[in-house]
Amino acid sequence: MVPTVNDPELFALIRLLDDPDENVFEPVFNRIVQYGYRAIPQLEHVWETAEQADQQVRVESIIRRIQYLEIAQRYQYWRQQSSPDLWEGLLILDQLYHREDRTEILRQSMEQLRRNAWLELNQYLTPLEQMNVLSRVLFEHERFKGIDSAREKIASHFIGDILTNRIGNQVGLGLLIQILAEKLDLSLYALSVPGIFVLGSPNVIKSREKKGIDSIDFYLDPQTGELFGRAEIELYMRRIHQPLEESFFEPLFAKQLVEWWLRKVAQKAQESGDLILAAQLSELLRLP
Please report the DSSP string for 2-35 in residue order: PPP---HHHHHHHHGGG---HHHHHHHHHHHHHH
Q: Give the pLDDT of residue 208.
A: 63
- The DSSP call for residue 205 is S
Residue 1 — very low, low, confident or very high, per pLDDT cuts 50/70/90? very low
Model pTM score: 0.88
Are 110 and 162 spatial neighbours (Cβ–Cβ below 8 Å)?
no
Query: What is the SS3 string spanning 130-176?
Result: HHHHHHHHHHHHCCCEECCCCCCCHHHHCHHHHHHHCEECHHHHHHH
For 209, counting Cβ atoms within 10 Å of its Cβ (0-12 exposed, 13-18 middle, 19+ buried), the class is exposed
Residues 157-173 pLDDT 10s: 999 999 999 999 999 99
Residues 178-237 pLDDT 10s: 999 999 999 999 999 999 999 999 987 765 678 899 999 999 999 999 999 999 999 999
